[in-house]
Amino acid sequence: MITTVHSETQSTHCAAELIERRDLSANLVTLRFRVSERPSFTAGQFATIGVFVDGELRERPYSIVSSPHEPFLEFFIELVPGGSITPRLWELKLGSVIWVRRRIVGQLILNTAVTHHLMLATVTGIAPFVGILRTQKIERERGATPNHQFLVLHGASQSADLGSYRSELEELSRAGWLTYIPTVSRPRAEPNWKGETGRVEDIVRKYADQLSFDCCNSAAYACGHPQMVTNVKAILERARFNRDQIKEEKYFSIDTVNHTLANISMLKRTAEVPGNA
């Protein structure tokens, strides 16, 4: 049965072997895979990946961190307690195999009609932007001379949730074509944090105005927490950005999260009842 299912899957998916794993915290991980057939995609797009559970392929879309120029697929993933796939991804070990849909899609790609790019992210929402920025770096090293300028605001509750991408983007920013601003919304928990504080929506106008990223020269991209995406869209529209100048990708539905948390809470209460342990 599983052999048959896998055979059918191979017509629409390709196998991907885990070659590197970095656990950044209890609920954040970076996974790199060697893909049996190198897929074609544009930086900023997402792939649908899946794992077999009891003979059934369970799938979810994840933004690709890696550049199309890199020989692997990389993902930055947050654990969803009670989720249908992330708990399974947390069980992966080096050499484990997942399945990746051959068709890679997504609209969060670079708008080459403008020169300034305002990128707004929370936690794992930085993933597509890292892919775009790595691509810029590689192409510049190969001799390309684009005139694109980038402003990236990356928010999290605590600095650990910014992942290893914080240091990577800080390094890239030294080249002069990228300004990277990490910000934490709970600075009281980190007395040694010397960076920006507040949510992304709290600081977007400050830095956009300061660095002259406006509706006349910029495209905006928002990715991550749906409330952040909604808030920054409203702020940018008030700053005269047209809706078609703002690309967005929400990583989850708040209603879905609330439903999942309610189910987990109910299961915990049920487990406390004698006879249900």
- Reported as a single tens digit per residue, the pLDDT across 79-109 is 999 898 999 999 999 999 999 999 999 999 9
Q: Kindly state whether residue 92 falls inside one of the protein's structural domains.
A: yes
DSSP code per residue over 127-164: HHHHHHHHHHHHHHHTT-----EEEEEEEESSGGGGTT
Query: Alpha-carbon distance 1 to 132, whole Å?
Result: 40
Looking at the fold, whether 236 and 123 belong to one and the same domain comes out as: yes
Looking at the fold, whether 151 and 38 belong to one and the same domain comes out as: no
Looking at the fold, whether 94 and 209 belong to one and the same domain comes out as: no
Q: Categorise residue 242: left if φ over 0, alpha if ψ from -120 to 50, beta otherwise.
A: beta
Domain hosting 161: range is: 116-253
Which spans in the chain are helix H? 2-9, 86-89, 127-141, 165-172, 200-210, 226-238, 254-271
Tell me the backbone φ, ψ of residue 258, rounded to 5 degrees. -60, -40
- In the chain, the amino acid numbered 170 is E
Give the whole-number percent of the chain exceeding pLDDT 70. Answer: 88
Looking at the fold, whether 38 and 129 belong to one and the same domain comes out as: no
Q: Kindly state whether residue 194 falls inside one of the protein's structural domains.
A: yes
Residues 260, 254: contact at Cβ < 8 Å? no
Say how far residue 168 (Cα) sits from the centre of its chain.
15
Q: Of 74, 101, 128, which one is at a domain's C-terminal end?
A: 101
- Reported as a single tens digit per residue, the pLDDT across 174-229 is 999 999 999 999 999 999 999 999 999 999 999 999 999 999 999 999 999 999 99
User: 44: domain CATH number?
Assistant: 2.40.30.10
Place of tokens 């509706």: 215
Looking at the fold, whether 80 and 122 belong to one and the same domain comes out as: no
For 83, the enclosing helix (H) or strand (E) is none
Residue 4: partners with Cβ closer than 8 Å, 6 or more residues away: none
- Reported as a single tens digit per residue, the pLDDT across 114-148 is 999 999 999 999 999 999 999 999 999 999 999 99
What angle separates helix 127-141 from helix 165-172, to the nearest 10 degrees?
40
Whether the model pTM is above 0.75: yes
What angle separates helix 226-238 from helix 200-210, to the nearest 10 degrees?
40
Task: Find the mean pLDDT for residues 4-14.
Answer: 73
User: 170: domain CATH number?
Assistant: 3.40.50.80
CB atoms within 10 A of CB 42: 17
